[in-house]
């Protein structure tokens, strides 16, 4: 009878342990995966902000923002059939070609100052840095949705050499002696900024940096080349392999241990029965 009882104990213990081991991943793994997914995803509507100032080095204009843009326009002639003489003066950020035979309406051959865009060296989302492709996506969205805000410069803060040439003109600066009556060849400069921006959807925190998912990488001249591959995030102290091994198998360890204890108990019972014989 005691042999039968020991055998039955072994069978019941093994059955329970097997059932627990089979069901452990069902509740352990999804919970861990959900927690990891939440921890590596940005909150909806979270803002990318700048941790540093951006400066236009030529004009000395500085602002705390994630993006600063200098737009340069040149006063030029443009063919206009409805204007007197068939030409009209316009501000344009692009060079306008005019008929080469018409010297009276020839435009300057080049811009004296280039337009330019600067980005924060320390953009942050929820306190963590963001990758360059995130800024590219933000720029594309800002350009498409007119998300840039005009920044009116203080002409009194200009370097002396530029203060002698530029003066206030609306929301910017120009070289016009009379801003109300600009002449061909005059230059107008305006600045705009991105103080912050809503983070693009789907950002993932990888290696301590917010990055775009591969499927959502923006396709633009600024990001035409494929982004560098990222390596798995290293764990402090070099224990990542241990955490990974036990993290995936912890649900199996204790049921197996319970089964071994059952076998040990059965052996002890069997030995006790043999001694009594």
- Asked whether the predicted pLDDT for residue 256 surpasses 50, the reply is yes
- Asked whether the predicted pLDDT for residue 249 surpasses 50, the reply is no
- Asked whether the predicted pLDDT for residue 151 surpasses 80, the reply is yes
Strand extents, DSSP E, 186-239: 187-194, 197-198, 204-206, 209-211
Q: Three-class SS of residue 112?
A: coil
- Asked whether the predicted pLDDT for residue 48 surpasses 70, the reply is yes
**The pair of three-digit structure tokens given for residue 171, joined into one six-digit string:** 């929301």
Which pLDDT belongs to residue 139?
92
Confidence of residue 239 (pLDDT cuts 50, 70, 90): very low
Residue with tokens 């301590």: 208
Query: Is residue 59 a contact partner of residue 162, using CB atoms and an 8 Å limit?
Result: yes
Rounded to two decimals, the pTM is: 0.63
């Amino acid at each position: 009878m005691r042999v039968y009882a020991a055998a039955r104990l072994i069978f019941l213990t093994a059955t329970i342990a097997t059932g627990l081991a089979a069901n452990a991943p069902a509740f352990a793994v999804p919970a861990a995966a959900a927690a990891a997914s939440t921890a590596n995803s940005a909150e909806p509507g979270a803002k990318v902000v700048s941790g540093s100032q951006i400066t236009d080095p030529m004009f000395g204009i500085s602002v705390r923002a994630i993006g600063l843009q200098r737009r340069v326009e040149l006063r030029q002639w443009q063919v206009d059939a409805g204007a007197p003489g068939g030409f009209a003066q316009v501000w344009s950020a692009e060079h306008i070609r005019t008929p080469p035979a018409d010297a009276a309406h020839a435009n300057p051959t080049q811009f004296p100052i280039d337009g330019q865009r600067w980005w924060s060296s320390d953009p942050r989302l929820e306190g963590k840095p963001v990758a360059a492709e995130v800024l590219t996506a933000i720029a594309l969205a800002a350009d498409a949705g007119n998300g840039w805000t005009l920044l009116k410069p203080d002409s009194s803060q200009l370097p002396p050499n530029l203060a002698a040439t530029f003066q206030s003109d609306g929301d910017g600066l120009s070289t016009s002696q009379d801003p109300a009556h600009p002449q061909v060849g005059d230059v107008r400069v305006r600045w705009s900024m991105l103080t912050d921006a809503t983070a693009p959807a789907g950002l993932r925190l990888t290696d301590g940096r917010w990055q775009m998912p591969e499927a959502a990488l923006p396709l633009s001249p600024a990001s035409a080349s494929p982004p560098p591959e990222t390596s798995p995030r290293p764990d402090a102290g070099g224990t990542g392999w241990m955490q990974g091994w036990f993290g995936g198998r912890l649900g199996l360890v204790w049921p197996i241990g319970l089964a071994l204890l059952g076998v040990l108990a059965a052996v002890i019972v069997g030995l006790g029965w043999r001694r009594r014989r």
